[in-house]
Every structure is written in C-alpha cells, then in structure tokens.
Amino acid sequence: MAAPTVTVARSTGRAPTALGGVGRVVEHHWRWYRRNWRATAVSSILQPLLFLLAFGVGFGALVGSGPQAAAATGGVPYLVWLAPALLAMSAAQSAAFDSTYPILSGFKWQRIYLAMSAGPITGAQVGLGVLAWTGMKMFWSGAVYVVVIAIFGGVQGPGIIVSLLAALLTGLAVASLITAFAATVENEGNAFSALFRFVVIPMTLFSGTFFPVDRLPEWVQPVVWISPLWHGTEVARGAALGTWQLLPTLGHLAVLVGLLVVGSVLVARLFTRRLAT
Amino acid sequence: MSAPTVPAVPSVWRLLPAGSYAGRARMMMVRSATASRRTWPAFVSGFFEPVFYLLAMGTGLGSLVGDLPGPDGQPISYAAFIAPGLLAASAMNGAVFDSTYNVFFKLHYARLYDSMLATPLGPVDVALGEIGWALLRGGLYATAFLSVMAGFGLIASPWALLALPAALSVAFAFAAVGMAATSFMRSWQDFDLVTLAVLPMFLFSTTFYPLSVYPRWLQVVVECLPLYHAVELMRGLTTGVVGLGLLGHLGYFVVMVVVGVVVASRRLETLLLR
Amino acid sequence: MVIAARPVGVSGYGLVVSDALVQARGLRKSFGAFEAVRGIDVDVAPGEVFGFLGPNGAGKSSTMRMIACVSPRSAGTLSVLGMDPGSDGPRIRARIGVVPQLDNLDAELSVRENLEIYGRYFGLPRRHVREKATELLEFAQLTERAGDTVEELSGGMKRRLTIARSLVNDPELLLLDEPTTGLDPQARHLLWDRLYRLKREGVTQIVTTHYMDEAEQLCDRLVVMDGGVIAAEGAPAELIGRYSTREVLELRFDPEHRPSAAALERHADRVEELPDRFLLYTSDGERTQGDVVGAGFVPLSSLVRRSSLEDVFLRLTGRTLVD
C-alpha cells in the first residue's frame, strides 16, 4: 500500500484595511437592522413624536402666546422654539440607549464583538464601527423626525437641516462617552440604571430643551454648562431660528467635537483592552 | 431535625390550582431585599427621578405658565399642579419596570423562578412575592417624594397622608397588570409595546397640563387611561379637594389588581409548570 | 438519616403496598402532539442510586420534571415519597432536592446567601439555615468563596454550589439532571466523590446522564431510555453481560482503503460500523486483532478495551449516545 500523501490546508489569508474593518462592523449591524428595523421604530421615531405632541402641541396650547412664553421663546411659537431642541434631545437619548445594554450584550450576552475580533478585525475597529453605526441610525431617524416636525408646523426654514447635523454631533459625542463607559462594565448592567437616573435624565431635563436655562435656580447652572446636550441644543436652536452668534456657536461646537474625540479615543482603547483579554 | 412542614393554606386560595400557593410569598421578598443590599445605589436612585422632574419642570415650565386652576377651580402653582402627577407617574413607572423587565429577565434568563419552584413555593407565591417587593419599594419612594413635596410647600391638606396608600394601590394595580402582560411576552422586542403603553400615558394623562387643552373626543380617550385616574386621585388628595369621586378612581385600580393577579398566576402556572 | 419503608398509596389504583420511594406505572408526558415520555414503569428503592440513561431527547428530563412535581403528568400513575405529585406538590418538594440540568443560581446573591435564602423557601428557621449553610459550604469546598458573587465562580464550583443548595432541606430523595455535563475531568471526579458520600449517608438519588462512565461509576441500577420508552433495565454489570461481549476491538482505517463490515464479520461475534471506526465484539480482543491483521487488513490504529454501557446502548438502539 502506498504511503498516505499529506495535504496542507491554505487559508485565504486576507484582512480588511483599517477603515474597511470599521466598515465590516457597520455592515454586520446593517444586515441585522434590515430585518429588524420595525422593532427599533418605536424608540427612535415614536418616542420623539410623543414628546413633540405632548409638549409642542399640548403644552404649547396651554402656554399660547402669553407674555411669559413670548419672553422665553423670543416671540416664535412654542412648538417652533421646541422642535430643534427635541431633535437634539432625541439624538442624545437614543445614543444613550444604544450605547448601554446593546454594548454590554455584544461583550457579554451575545458576544458578537468577541466573534468579530476573533478574525482579522481589531478591537478598535469593532468599537469605532459600533459608534459609526449608532451615528448612521441616529441620522436617519433624525431625518424622519424633521419631516414629522414639518408636518406639525414646527419648521421655520431650511436652517433645520443644520439643526439635524448639530443633533447628530451631539448624539455622537454622547454615544462615544457612554460606549466607552459601557465597555468597562462587567456585571449585569446595574450601573446603567444609575447612569440613566443621574446623568441621562438630568441632562434631558436641565439642558434648555423645554424652557430657557436661565429660569433654573442659580446653583443648577454649572450642571448646564457641562451638559453636551445644552451645547448641542444651543447650536440646533440657533440654526433653526436664525438667532445664532458666531463666537458662542464656535465655542459650543468646539466642546462637542472635543468630547467626541476624547470619547472615540477611549472607545478604541477600551474595546482593544477588553477584547484582548 | 424534623422534616420541614408546609403551612395550612387559607381557603380563598383553594380557587387556584392545587399546590400553586404555599403561603410563603414573604420569603421571595426577603430574597429581593437581600439582593438589593448589593445594588443599593440603583435602589436609592429611583427616588431622584421624580425629584429631578419636579425641580426642572416645576420651576422651568412653571415660569412659562404661571398658575393653573386646581381640581376645584382655585388657582394653584404649576409645581403644585404637576407634583401629584409625578407622584402617580413614578408609582406607575416603578411598578411597571419591576413587573416587566425584571420579571422577564428572571423568568427567561436567570431561570430564577425554576429554582424556586423546586422548593415548596408555587407560582402564586412567586407572583405575590414579586408584586409585594415592587410595592414595598414603591411605598418607600412615594413616602420620600411626599416629604420632598412637603419641603417645597406643595402640600395643601392633611388628606395628603392618604396619598401614600393611594400610591400603593396604583403601584399594585400596575404591577399586577404588568406581570400578567410579561407572561405573554416572547422576546425583548415585545417590550417596545410596554414603552408604547407607558410613555403616552405619562405624557398625556394630565401630568403636565390640564385636560382642558384637549378637544372633547381626546378628553374622553384620556379619561379612560389608568394613569389619568391615578393623577386625579393624587391631585385631589394633595390639594385637599376630596369627594366621593375619588372612590371611583380607586375602583378602577381594584379591578386592575384582581384581573392582573388572576391572569398572572394562571399564566405563570402554564409557563413554569409544563 | 433513616429512611423507613412505608406503605405507599397510589391514587387512581386504590392502595398499593410498596417500598418504592418513586413508583411510576404507564407514565406519559406529551406536549401537544409530541409525546416525550410514552408509558414507562419505574421503581426506585430507598437508599439506591438510580440512573436514567439516554441521548438528548430520550425523555429523561421530562421524567425528572414530573418526579420533581414541576410538570403535571399526561397519563399513568406516579407516586413520590408515597404522595401524588398532582395534589401534594409542595409537600413532596419540601422533602426532595433538585439539581437542574442548567445551574439556576441567583446571580444577585452571594454564595452563602444563595444557600440561606433557598433554605428560607423551605420555611426553615433563620438560625438553622445559617448553620446548615456553613456545613454545606464545607461539603462543597466553597468555604473560602462564601462572600463572592456567583458569577466569580468556575463552572465546577457553580455545579457544586447547586448541589449544596439542593441539600439545604436534608432531602430524602435527590434528583440530579446531568450533574457533570460540561465539567472538566477533575471537577467531575470531585463531584462523584460528593455524590458517593451522600449515598453512604442514605440519600436516595436519581441521576440522568448521557455519560456511560458516569452511570457505571454512580448507579446501582439504571434504565436505558430511547424515544420516550425504556429499552432495558438492570445493574450496569448485568446490562453489559446481557447485551455485550467481554471485550471490544476498535479499528480505524484510512477512508480510501476502508473494508466493508461484512468482510470483518467472520472475525468477531458482532460488528458495528460507525462513521469513523469499526467495533468488533469478541470475548478476546487480542486474539481477534491478530486474526484481522493476519487476514491482510491494515488498520491505521487499533484498540482493545472492556465492554461498556456505551456498547449496550449501541446494541439496543443502533446509535451511539453522542450523535
């Protein structure tokens, strides 16, 4: 009998480029989303719509065009004044949701990040890919939201498009910071309920979304300044109403971009660290 | 030692299938209390949410509105108007969270109830124990929030003391119905339906502004919502405008409790004892 | 612990006198149109370790759940500790211990709290539970980890804690559903040792497993289940004697030069063909090996071993347990 011949298997041996790896991670989420987008429609579209109806329309009717309201909104209807801020708020809120439990699940329950990084994709690419995907989702639910606002008569001019971009920047800054935090959570996510109650909810309430921040007590003001949502709201509202001024706007943008850069670097580092062990 | 005994069960529970109630729901609450010792920051944090809302909306939105007519038409401050609404809403939110997300997780992921049913405990013990814990927690939050209201001078009458038991009835009703609903859920995606029920109620049940802003047909819809009745009940008590009508609101919650507990127990039975 | 034999009342059939801790007659379980258990008779005597053996889906776990009173039977009779699980569920569960297939420890509690709280579900006094927990931590070799959360434990430790937890009420009957699945060899041996100690203390045990070596190690008596029915019953050695030969010769061939089973048949009492090898049943493995090589066959490897329950199962069902 002849000696058995030995065959050695050869793999394809290919690896994506730095940006390509991020793209593959986005593609993974997109594949999932194509089948499951209806499930996320409630939180991304309906939730902001309900806030718009409750406060823009309902509360707006109560406020009417009374002198107290006019003093606060600068004379525009309450709905028009509120709409760009709600755009920023819903971006920040959905950023917070998408960056907590789903991230932990990727590491711990479904372990999809572990599966991704078992191949040639690096931990940093996984983290930045997840962040990019969150941003994309935020952008198109924001775009749908702009249409909804327009239907209810909350749009004054094309400036709302700039508001949408400001909202996206705000959402990404929030998402990058919270995603970085979520990458450090090891337990069942108990820390998230504290995060929502002590950071996310105060942020939505104390960022000038529903009323000008100068109506708040003096001692709350420092909380306002550190809130990324306040900076985003100022830019979004200024763009929609055409009331923005150059220097303050540049200042707000600088804060948001700064937070996004810090957050992204942290995401890349922390994902790398967690997926390497 | 003697073999552990199972206490005699009161006759009311004979209505339920044999062996579904061992009269030890209390032990489930001991378990929850022990578990929350480790997660106390989350436990304590539940108190702050309505306080943040009161602070932000009461002062901020209040500055846009001024005074509003109270239940008897007398003007009250905006903060005094929304505070009872927030009390009712937080009773609802807490109870719904505990009885939906938490229960679903324990049911399908932690398989916690399976381990309990290997002991003399039955599904009714489990249901009552979980609802009881949600109530205890809700009661502590309500007490704390009422103290904050008193501190801000938002309580106008001693009737407000009854807002505590009222908050417990509201929480009981929502917990029972929430648990019954959870027993029908198949995946996390179904929880969007919970958000879909809870968020509009929170926003539209006269929590933030009076019924009068709506057209008549929408007023009728809102009047059917359970949270509307909870808010009316609380607002009547904290402003001291008390009448027999409040009992009607209470009746709404009694019906919710009965339907919720019966459905939840039966469904847990079929889910866990297959 | 002393277990006295006592008369057992079996509902539906009048009073039947029996020593059995568990007695089933014509026991069935169906889920809709699917019948998981299709009429089995079982008697478990006090003090013995009784095994249910079979592949996934054989009906073992369904049977265990019925005995544990967490799954109502569809037909037949069943008595556990002389009572009917249908009506006496809580009273039976008060006297048994259950180790489920998947650990369902309470992740929100510490190791010690898991034991204490579980004991409280049985209505045991707080002080008794505290002492019992200390004793059980010792038994499970977890005393040092008492304050840790469950999550920090290894798989073997979690399994030991689950077993310790099932003992908190000093059960007369312990139900173990696949107690060692997924454990490393060392952890398995430690667990077997603990179960052996319990047996010496007189705790009756019912074990399901699809590991044959485990069944041979642990069980006094067992039934082989397949497709919801009992295929055979007896002590491990007895079953091997009845359904297999003394030794087995395992042969592996290069897939290109694999002979047919028929060609090997005349060298053994019986031949089983598996995807990757042949099993030749014979009283003398060494001699059969010589015969096969002498006949010109060139196996890549060959192995002579003692017959095991795995072979019994293969004989009874025509399938291996792991497929």
Across the interface, whether the CB atoms of B42 and A190 are under 8 A apart is answered yes
CA distance A99 to A199: 14
On chain A, the residues whose CB falls within 8 A of the CB of B55 are 205, 220
C256 vs chain A: nearest CA distance in angstroms? 10
pLDDT(C134) > 80: yes
| Predicted local distance difference test score (pLDDT) of residue A234 | 96
Nearest CA in chain A to B46: A197
Place of tokens 């420890």: C105
On chain A, the residues whose CB falls within 8 A of the CB of C298 are 1
| Predicted local distance difference test score (pLDDT) of residue C11 | 38
Largest CA distance in chain B: 70
| B194-242 confidence digits (pLDDT tens) | 888 899 999 999 999 999 889 899 999 999 999 999 999 999 999 988 8
Nearest CA in chain A to C255: A4
pLDDT(C12) > 70: no
| Predicted local distance difference test score (pLDDT) of residue C320 | 62
pLDDT(B2) > 70: no
Between helices B245-272 and B163-182, what is the axis angle to 10°?
A: 30
Say whether C43 sits in a helix, a strand or coil: strand
Task: Tell me what percent of the residues of chain B surpass a pLDDT of 70.
Answer: 93
More confident residue, A36 or C76: C76
| A84-104 confidence digits (pLDDT tens) | 999 999 999 999 999 998 999
Place of tokens 């006949």: C295
- Domain residue limits, chain C: 22-235, 245-306
Residue A93 near residue A200, CB atoms below 8 Å: yes
Across the interface, whether the CB atoms of A211 and B53 are under 8 A apart is answered no
Across the interface, whether the CB atoms of A187 and C151 are under 8 A apart is answered yes
Across the interface, whether the CB atoms of A188 and C257 are under 8 A apart is answered no
What are the DSSP calls for C246-300, one per residue?
A: SEEEEEE--GGGPPPHHHHHTTSSEEEE-SS-EEEEES-HHHHHHHHHHTT---S
CA distance B76 to B59: 14
Question: What is the CATH code of the structural domain delimited by C22-235?
Answer: 3.40.50.300
Total residue count of chain C as it appears in this document? 323
Nearest CA in chain A to C152: A187
Task: Tell me what percent of the residues of chain A surpass a pLDDT of 70.
Answer: 96
Beta-carbon contacts of B106 under 8 Å, excluding residues fewer than 6 positions away, are B112, B113
C200-238: b (≥16 Cβ within 10 Å) or e: eeebbbbbbbbbbebbbbbbebbbbbbebbbbbbbebee
Nearest CA in chain A to C254: A4
On chain A, the residues whose CB falls within 8 A of the CB of C254 are 4
Which two structure tokens, joined as six digits, stand for B39? 């997660």
pLDDT(B125) > 70: yes
Closest CA to B139 of B173, B165, B160: B165
| Predicted local distance difference test score (pLDDT) of residue B261 | 86
| C54-73 confidence digits (pLDDT tens) | 888 889 999 999 999 988 99
| Predicted local distance difference test score (pLDDT) of residue B18 | 62
Range 235-254 of C in CB contact (< 8 A) with A: 254
| C77-110 confidence digits (pLDDT tens) | 999 999 999 888 888 999 999 999 888 898 888 9
Residue B46 near residue A198, CB atoms below 8 Å: no
Q: What pLDDT band is residue A69 in, cutting at 50, 70 and 90?
A: confident
pLDDT(B116) > 60: yes
Question: What distance, in Å, lies between the first and last C-alpha atoms of chain C?
Answer: 41
Q: Where are the alpha helices (DSSP H) in B39-111?
A: 40-45, 48-56, 62-65, 78-97, 103-108
On chain C, the residues whose CB falls within 8 A of the CB of A1 are 257, 298
For the C245-306 domain, the top CATH level (class) is alpha beta
More confident residue, B144 or B20: B144
C244 CB-side CA count, 13 A: 29
**Average pLDDT score, chain A:** 89
On chain B, the residues whose CB falls within 8 A of the CB of C170 are 1, 3
Question: Rg of the Cα trace of chain A?
Answer: 22
Which two structure tokens, joined as six digits, stand for A149? 């606002």
Instruction: Identify which of A1, A4, A188 has the shortest CB distance to residue C107.
Output: A188
Q: What pLDDT band is residue C15 in, cutting at 50, 70 and 90?
A: very low
Please report the ipTM that was assigned to this predicted complex: 0.85
Strand residues in B90-247 grouped as ranges (E):
none
Q: What pLDDT band is residue C10 in, cutting at 50, 70 and 90?
A: very low
Question: What is the average pLDDT across A176-194?
Answer: 88
Say whether C20 sits in a helix, a strand or coil: coil
Question: Rg of the Cα trace of chain B?
Answer: 20
Residue B243 dihedral angles phi and psi, to the nearest 5°: -145, 180
C257 touches chain A (CB under 8 A): yes
| A223-263 confidence digits (pLDDT tens) | 899 999 999 999 999 999 999 889 999 999 999 999 999 99
Neighbour tally for A170: CB within 10 Å: 31
Task: Tell me what percent of the residues of chain C surpass a pLDDT of 70.
Answer: 93
CA distance C72 to C66: 6
Closest CA to B156 of B241, B72, B228, B78: B241
Instruction: Identify which of B5, B7, B116 has the shortest CB distance to residue C121.
Output: B116
Total residue count of chain B as it appears in this document? 274
More confident residue, C155 or B6: C155
Range 29-58 of B in CB contact (< 8 A) with C: 30-31, 34-35, 38-39
| Predicted local distance difference test score (pLDDT) of residue A255 | 96
Q: What pLDDT band is residue C257 in, cutting at 50, 70 and 90?
A: confident
Across the interface, whether the CB atoms of B31 and C106 are under 8 A apart is answered yes
Question: What is the average pLDDT across C140-148?
Answer: 93
C151 touches chain A (CB under 8 A): yes
Distances (CA, A) of A97 to A141, A211, B12, B48: 14, 24, 44, 19
Strand residues in chain A grouped as ranges (E):
none
CA distance B125 to B119: 11
CA distance C117 to C123: 10
Question: What is the average pLDDT across B69-84?
Answer: 89
pLDDT(C168) > 90: yes
| Predicted local distance difference test score (pLDDT) of residue B15 | 52
Nearest CA in chain A to B194: A42
Residue C59 dihedral angles phi and psi, to the nearest 5°: 105, 10
